[in-house]
């Protein structure tokens, strides 16, 4: 949700002096989100003023921390306060926040023209950018503040400054103010920038301002920029806009009209590829091609994906997003195989072009796992119905399991490689601009997802098992492939200091879809070579974890003991498994024979 949606709770917390609640809702937010949340609409009082009026010093200190008073006043639009701080308080007019945002940029964000004018007149640096290289002119262009853009340009702001925006692969995605204006759809600002000398030049990802307008669906901006672009670029931009109409606006007829117009510019592509994942189609590039897809909505939707992948590239986040989006729609329509095929294509592209543990890659794997869980649950619920369709196969699960383990292996490779070859590792440098994902949470997700996939394979095998002919051979092959992937999973977890057996044994405070523990999964992990007596950072073995569950399963305890789990293993809280068993309401004689299982470990 955006910052505006949280205003009420934040303003109320400031009024009541609840610092902890403010921390819950404000910690970890980016600068733009905070500006949306903390800036006030007409007639409202900003949180910092509310807190000051009510004497909540700790709240005032928290809100001011990292954001100088001049920046806060400029961003909130308090002209008199800004003047006082500059003229009477001697505030540094270029003092920045923790994210290097200047008071001028803060004022530009919400369109406080009078403050912008004043700050510039007092010597504010109009080119001072934030940590991503985003200048006041860029944010004013993106927020469509025409008057401020004109003023900054007249004051000497350069339209050629480029910002290193959040990147989606390895190269930085450099945008200038023209990209921001085109993406926002502000044709008036685009014209101002053109008059100031800005051009339709591509960023580091090869995306031009005209393509930004096409992605955002701004046809007016596209038509303005046509005069400043090569015919072939116009052809591509119009094709891209048609793809936007198909996938975003669901305007099939509009897309046909735009694609027909696109053929008037440039030349056909002589090297069109056939895409098996897109029903074996090639990109439309002639009037005959367009006539062939008219009346076939599915073919047009595939064309939109083909066009986007060629023009934006296989590594662009928009390419991946719409492939996943179309796959999700097919799954909703019950065409699971087709949906899985598209998702797997997106996952292949992401692992080819994005760094390990990228949020987009993680989201794709999460889509697979969640859908598999729902499908298998439906299969179990409808097991007695006369419906022999199987919405997910063992092969589907194995393919995703393989990809999940490969993603962990990619991170492991990164730890051993200083340089990198395109497409397989993540750079870890101090000057990387993109925020890194939380590795601990990523580890937890991939371990949990992998174990969940092992469990799903076991559950679905119960429905598809047979003892006859080719199917039996195929089952055996699938089981062998599963073990190979599990072996890789156990190895990479060992290298990354992860504890999959502990996760598999943990049944405490888990939601139903993640319900463990499952004896076949635990047996597979042990068979793949995992140490049943391996201790986690708290000193707990897998047997400790089982015994900490709300309702420990006797069968799991016996399984671990049968594979050598030590009863006298002691954790850092000085608890042995033997003590925990006696503390539980168990019939000890049914669980173990102490003379057989107690060791001196």
The pLDDT confidence band at residue 204, using thresholds 50, 70 and 90, is confident
510, burial (CB in 10 Å: exposed 0-12, middle 13-18, buried 19+): middle
Domain that holds residue 131: 127-229
Position 526 in a domain:
no
Position 196 in a domain:
yes
So what's the pLDDT on residue 213? 97
- Please give the full DSSP string across 41-91, using - where no structure is assigned: -TT---HHHHHHHTT-HHHHHHHHTTS-HHHHHHHHT-HHHHHHHHHTS--
The pLDDT confidence band at residue 10, using thresholds 50, 70 and 90, is confident
Cis peptide, bond prior to residue 395, ω within 30 of zero = no
125-129 average pLDDT score:
92
Alpha helices by DSSP H, 386-468:
394-416, 439-464
So what's the pLDDT on residue 81? 85
Whether the Cβ atoms of residue 549 and residue 532 lie closer than 8 Å to each other: no
SS3 584: coil
* φ, ψ for residue 300, nearest 5 deg: -70, -35
Q: Which residue has the higher pLDDT, 187 or 434?
A: 187
Which residues on adjacent β-strands are paired with residue 175? Answer: 163
Report if pTM > 0.85.
no
Position 181 in a domain:
yes
Share the mean pLDDT of the chain: 84
Tokens 């196969």: give the residue: 393
Tens digits of residue pLDDT in 549-586: 888 888 899 899 999 999 999 999 999 998 888 887 76
Position 587 in a domain:
no
* Distance of alpha carbon 235 from alpha carbon 233, whole angstroms: 5
CATH of the domain at 181: 1.25.40.20
Position 357 in a domain:
no
The pLDDT confidence band at residue 93, using thresholds 50, 70 and 90, is very high
- Number of domains comprising the chain: 1
- Please give the full DSSP string across 461-518, using - where no structure is assigned: HHHH---SHHHHHHHHHHHHHHHHHHHHHHHHHHHTT--HHHHHH--SS--GGG----
Q: Is the pLDDT of residue 228 over 90?
A: yes
Most confident of 44-48, 319-323, 574-578: 319-323
Whether the Cβ atoms of residue 95 and residue 82 lie closer than 8 Å to each other: no
The pLDDT confidence band at residue 357, using thresholds 50, 70 and 90, is very high
Q: Which residue has the higher pLDDT, 340 or 110?
A: 340
Position 251 in a domain:
no
Q: Is the pLDDT of residue 164 over 60?
A: no
Whether the Cβ atoms of residue 504 and residue 525 lie closer than 8 Å to each other: yes
Q: Which two tokens stand for residue 252?
A: 């099939």
495, burial (CB in 10 Å: exposed 0-12, middle 13-18, buried 19+): middle
The pLDDT confidence band at residue 420, using thresholds 50, 70 and 90, is very low
370-392 average pLDDT score:
77
So what's the pLDDT on residue 75? 84
So what's the pLDDT on residue 473? 80
- Please give the full DSSP string across 258-303, using - where no structure is assigned: HHHHHTTSS---S-PPPBGGGTTB----SHHHHHHHTT-HHHHHHH
- C-alpha pair distances (Å), 533 with each of 34, 501, 517, 561: 48, 10, 17, 10
SS3 423: coil
* Distance of alpha carbon 27 from alpha carbon 223, whole angstroms: 42
Q: Is the pLDDT of residue 378 over 60?
A: yes
SS3 232: helix
Position 335 in a domain:
no
Position 380 in a domain:
no
């Amino acid at each position: 949700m955006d910052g505006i949606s949280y205003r009420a709770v934040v303003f109320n917390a400031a009024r009541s002096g609840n610092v902890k609640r403010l921390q819950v809702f404000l910690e970890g937010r980016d600068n733009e989100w905070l500006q949306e949340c903390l800036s006030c609409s007409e007639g409202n009082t900003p949180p910092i003023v509310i807190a000051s009026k009510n004497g909540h010093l700790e709240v005032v200190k928290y809100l001011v921390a990292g954001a100088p008073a001049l920046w806060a006043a400029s961003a909130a639009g308090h002209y008199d306060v800004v003047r006082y701080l500059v003229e009477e308080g001697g505030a540094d007019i270029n003092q920045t926040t923790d994210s290097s945002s200047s008071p001028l940029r803060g004022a530009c964000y919400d369109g406080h023209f009078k403050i912008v004018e004043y700050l510039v007149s007092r010597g504010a640096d109009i080119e001072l950018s934030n940590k991503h290289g985003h200048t006041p002119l860029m944010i004013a262009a993106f927020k469509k503040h025409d008057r401020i853009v004109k003023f900054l340009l007249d004051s000497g702001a350069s339209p050629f400054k480029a910002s290193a925006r959040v990147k989606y692969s390895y190269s930085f995605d450099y945008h200038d103010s023209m990209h921001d204006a085109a993406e926002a759809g502000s044709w008036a600002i685009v014209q101002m920038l053109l008059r100031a000398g800005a051009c339709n030049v591509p960023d580091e990802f090869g995306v031009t301002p005209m393509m930004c307008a096409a992605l955002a669906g701004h046809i007016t901006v596209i038509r303005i920029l046509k005069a400043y672009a090569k015919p072939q670029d116009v052809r591509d931009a119009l094709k891209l806009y048609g793809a936007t109409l198909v996938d975003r606006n669901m305007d099939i007829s509009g897309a046909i009209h735009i694609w027909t117009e696109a053929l008037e510019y440039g030349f056909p592509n002589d090297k069109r590829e056939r895409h098996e994942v897109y029903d074996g189609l090639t990109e439309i590039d002639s009037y005959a091609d367009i006539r062939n897809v008219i009346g076939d909505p599915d073919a047009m939707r595939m064309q939109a994906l083909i066009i986007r992948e060629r023009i934006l590239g296989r590594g662009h986040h928009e390419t991946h997003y719409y492939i996943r989006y179309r796959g999700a729609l097919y799954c909703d329509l019950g065409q699971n195989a087709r949906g899985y095929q598209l998702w797997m294509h997106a996952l292949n592209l992401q692992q080819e072009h994005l760094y390990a543990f990228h949020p987009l890659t993680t989201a794709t794997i999460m889509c697979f796992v969640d859908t598999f869980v729902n499908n298998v649950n439906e299969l179990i619920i409808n097991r007695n119905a006369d419906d022999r369709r199987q919405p997910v196969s063992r092969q589907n699960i194995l393919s995703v399991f393989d990809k999940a383990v490969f993603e962990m292996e990619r991170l492991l490779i990164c730890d051993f490689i200083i340089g990198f070859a395109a497409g397989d590792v993540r750079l870890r440098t101090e000057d990387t601009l993109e925020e890194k994902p939380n590795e601990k949470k990523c580890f937890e997700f991939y371990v949990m997802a992998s174990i969940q996939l092992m469990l799903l394979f076991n559950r679905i095998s119960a429905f598809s098992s047979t003892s006859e002919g080719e199917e039996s051979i195929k089952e055996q092959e699938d089981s062998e492939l599963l073990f190979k992937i599990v072996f890789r999973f156990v190895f990479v977890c060992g290298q990354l200091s992860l504890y999959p057996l502990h996760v598999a044994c943990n049944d405490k405070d888990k939601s139903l879809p993640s319900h463990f523990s499952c004896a076949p999964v635990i047996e597979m992990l042990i068979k793949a070579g995992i140490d049943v007596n391996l201790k986690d950072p708290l000193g707990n073995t897998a047997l400790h974890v089982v015994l900490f569950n709300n309702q420990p399963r006797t069968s799991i305890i016996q399984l671990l003991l049968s594979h050598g789990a030590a009863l006298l293993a002691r954790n850092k809280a000085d608890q042995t498994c033997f003590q925990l068993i006696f503390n539980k309401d168990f019939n000890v004689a049914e669980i173990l024979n102490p003379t057989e299982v107690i060791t001196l470990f």
